[in-house]
């Protein structure tokens, strides 16, 4: 009886103090970034055809011995002549005969440091102070005892690509899911078989959701301890309609949005992030012109009317069936959603003269400044605890923006607290075993 009392008291102490020292009992953790948080490299081949002198093969001058150079993030994108060059090289092309996307002719691309958190710290390591991305969060995780390549890993990806509905190929996106699954298994095996904590930001959460939907219960129970989703746009964003209609500089100064609009329209993942008709009501107009109002259920017509008819086929064949089938398998692991709120977020766009080359007037609503509240909370709205038999926790942080969630002191503290609590369960289990 005395031993049982000690065990219970030990468990209570660990559960009520999530900041307990659990350095030796940490679950391995993998960070999956959002779209713009990935570093992308490119290389030009003999098939590359320049459209201008400045965008010739000599640019940029700085390349490695095999011709690879940084394409995202590269600060020269701020200069108009090089913005056009960036647009040309970042373009994706939908090949109807293959029903899949590919790079621009003559452009190879790759992600550096898969498996490591090195490429997730900054958008550009040469400008660490002004392009910090996951560095504040990683620093906090290191204080808990996490170490890169030991029990802390990163899963960057080519953020231009996405996934497609069942029956449609998505070579690049599917390869990322395969690589992520392999990384999860490797991280678990190298840490004594402990299951993995997945921490995603933004688009990364949609990839994790698809990974969970596409794998069996037995695999998830063996390898996934917990999924922490930060700022996940479960149902897309209204802001994405601005991106397709008028271009979006994402807050980068000096850039003409029309110079990057073509590239942004070509992005498979951007199409994935258009407002989902499963989440946004057909009674809610998102874009309004003098003659037409478009809801999330009118995306094909919207794409036609903004002058992007080539986007209709891939949207209707590949994207719509996938977002329309937004479901939660019965074998989901425990999930924690941490989201910002109370930030002005585009909710309705007014194009007074139906001129989509101009920026719209915007009516704002609640969200994290990028993702609307209805999208941030879509997982909770679709959660059925009885069928999933797992827990869902949602934490709202007022005044914390979409990317600020990775830097804001209170937000980082909340994320680390959640991770500490998950790890304290492991410490409690180890304590119980040793006391017995």
Q: Which residues are catalytic?
A: 202, 368, 402
- Centroid of chain to Cα 43: 25
SS3 assignment for 158-213: CCCCCCCCCCCCCHHHHHHHHHHHHHHHHHHHCCCCCCEEEEEECHHHHHHHHHHH
- β pairing state of 152-154 and 40-44: unpaired
Half-sphere exposure of 402 (CA within 13 A, CB side): 26
Q: Are 100 and 169 in contact (CB under 8 A)?
A: yes
Q: Are 172 and 161 in contact (CB under 8 A)?
A: yes
197: CB partners within 8 A, 6+ apart? 27, 28, 29, 30, 225, 226, 227, 228, 419, 422
Please state, in angstroms and rounded to a whole number, the distance separating the CA atoms of residues 79 and 431: 58
End-to-end CA distance of the chain: 12
Q: Give the tokens for residue 337.
A: 């959603």
Neighbouring-strand partners of residue 201: 230
**Secondary structure of the chain: what % helix, strand, coil (to 5)?**
40, 20, 40
Q: 137: helix, coil or strand?
A: helix
């Amino acid at each position: 009886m005395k031993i049982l009392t000690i065990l219970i008291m030990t468990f209570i102490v660990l559960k009520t103090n999530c900041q307990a020292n659990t350095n030796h009992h940490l679950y391995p953790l993998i960070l999956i970034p959002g779209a713009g948080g990935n570093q992308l490299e490119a290389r030009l081949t003999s098939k590359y055809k320049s459209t201008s002198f400045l965008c010739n093969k000599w640019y940029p001058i700085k390349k490695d011995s095999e011709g690879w150079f940084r394409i995202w993030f590269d600060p020269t994108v701020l200069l108009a002549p090089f913005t056009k060059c960036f647009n040309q090289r970042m373009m994706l092309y939908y090949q109807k005969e293959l029903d899949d996307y590919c790079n621009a002719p003559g452009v190879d691309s790759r992600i550096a440091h898969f498996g490591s958190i090195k490429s997730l710290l900054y958008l550009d390591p040469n400008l660490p102070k002004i392009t910090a991305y996951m560095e504040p969060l990683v620093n906090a995780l290191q204080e808990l005892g996490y170490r890169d390549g030991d029990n802390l890993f990163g899963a960057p990806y080519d953020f231009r690509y996405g996934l497609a509905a069942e029956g449609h190929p998505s070579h690049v996106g599917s390869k990322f899911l395969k690589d992520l699954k392999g990384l999860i298994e490797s991280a678990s095996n190298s840490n004594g078989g402990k299951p993995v904590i997945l921490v995603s930001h933004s688009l990364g959460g949609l990839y994790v959701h698809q990974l969970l939907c596409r794998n069996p219960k037995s695999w998830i129970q063996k390898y996934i301890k917990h999924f922490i989703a930060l700022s996940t746009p479960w149902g897309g964003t209204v802001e994405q309609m601005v991106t397709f209609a008028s271009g979006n500089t994402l807050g980068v100064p000096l850039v003409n949005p029309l110079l990057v609009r073509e590239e942004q329209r070509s992005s498979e993942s951007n199409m994935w992030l258009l407002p989902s008709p499963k989440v946004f009501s057909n009674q809610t107009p998102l874009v309004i012109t003098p003659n037409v109002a478009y809801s999330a259920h009118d995306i094909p017509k919207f794409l036609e009317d903004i002058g992007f008819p080539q986007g209709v086929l891939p949207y209707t064949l590949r994207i719509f069936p996938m977002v329309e089938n937004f479901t939660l398998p019965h074998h989901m692991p425990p999930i924690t959603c941490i989201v910002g709120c109370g930030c002005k977020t585009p909710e309705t766009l007014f194009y007074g003269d139906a001129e989509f080359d101009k920026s719209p007037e915007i009516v704002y609503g609640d969200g994290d400044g990028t993702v609307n509240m209805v999208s941030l909370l879509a997982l909770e709205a679709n959660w059925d605890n009885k069928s999933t038999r797992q827990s869902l926790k949602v934490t709202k942080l007022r005044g914390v923006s979409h990317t600020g969630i990775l830097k804001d002191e209170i937000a980082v503290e909340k994320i680390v607290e959640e991770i500490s609590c998950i790890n304290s369960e492991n410490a409690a289990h180890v304590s119980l075993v040793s006391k017995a």
